[in-house]
Amino acid sequence: MTAPRVVLVGPMGVGKSTVGALLAQRLGCRFRDTDEDIVAEQGRTIADIFVEEGESAFRALEKQAVRRALAGHEGVLALGGGSILDEDTRALLAGQPVVYLSMDVEEAVQRTGLNAARPLLAVNPRRQWRELMDARRPLYAGVASAVVATDGRTPEEVTRAVLDAL
Ligand code: S3P
């Protein structure tokens, strides 16, 4: 059975895609991102899926995309920030090399700002970030075999820290 070498989880904007691509380069393997899989498969943006069908329809697509990627990818895999909300997905991650890229709320507000492409943050970014982090922090930590803090670090520094943690 194929399995990813590293799975990256963490909030949106934490740098999963950037760090994931760098990590794949260092490890000499491929990088895959479940958000990109969904966009390619659906032929529309994630923001459009949220607007046209709502969050729960997106979560169902995401659950399938994560399941497929976990079973069919040998390189570095980044999961969408909300994928760990699903209990079955969390169970699938047990025993995998999962790295949680963390950041604090202020760093998150600065990095993402008011970003229309991120439908969960459209109204009041600071309050929404605080609520989102409070709800998800234990879920990320629960599936992670290692935690790497990204605050104030460049993608290269984070990549080195992930390699050290593996
Ligand atoms: C989401 C994170 C996004 C994307 C969607 C919902 C979330 O992915 O899947 O906008 O619920 O945290 P990234 O973490 O790759 O930005």
Q: Identify the structural domains of the chain with CATH numbers, from first to last.
A: 6-165 (3.40.50.300)
**Nearest CA residue ID for atom 8, ligand 1:** 80
With contact defined as beta carbons under 8 Å apart, do 59 and 82 qualify? yes
Cα 27 to middle of ligand 1, angstroms: 25
> What pLDDT, on a 0 to 100 scale, did the predictor assign at position 115?
57
- 21-65 pLDDT tens trace: 999 999 999 999 999 999 999 999 999 999 999 999 999 999 999
Closest residue by Cα to atom 10, ligand 1, is: 118
Was 13 annotated as part of a binding site? yes
Residue with CA nearest ligand 1 atom 11: 82
Interval 90-98 mean pLDDT: 95
Phi-psi region of 13 (alpha: psi -120 to 50; beta: other; left: phi over 0): left
Q: What is the mean pLDDT of residues 128-139?
A: 94
Residue 88 structure tokens: 């079955």
Residue 110's pLDDT band (boundaries 50, 70, 90)? confident
Decide if 64 contacts 111 (C-beta within 8 A): no
The answer to whether 32 is a known ligand-binding residue is no
Helix residue spans in 9-154 (DSSP H)? 16-27, 34-42, 46-53, 55-72, 87-92, 105-112, 125-143
With contact defined as beta carbons under 8 Å apart, do 84 and 139 qualify? yes
Mean pLDDT, the chain, rounded, equals 92
End-to-end CA distance of the chain: 21
Please check the confidence at residue 117 and state whether its pLDDT lies above 70. no
The pLDDT of 74-97, averaged and rounded, is 96
Task: Identify which of 12, 14, 66 to mutate to test ligand 1's pocket (most ligand atoms within 8 A of the CB).
Answer: 12
Closest atom of ligand 1 to CA, residue 38 = 9
What band does 125 get if pLDDT is binned at 50, 70 and 90? confident
Interface predicted TM-score (ipTM) of this complex, two decimals: 0.97
130 is in an annotated binding site: no
Contact 23, 6 (CB under 8 A): yes
Q: How confident is the model at residue 138 (pLDDT cuts 50, 70, 90)?
A: very high
Do 160 and 27 meet the contact criterion of CB atoms below 8 Å apart?
A: no
Please give the number of the atom of ligand 1 that sits closest to the Cα of 119: 10
Centre of ligand 1 to C-alpha 157, Å, is 23
Instruction: Show the ligand 1 pocket: residues with CB < 6 angstroms.
Output: 12, 16, 35, 46, 80-82, 118-120
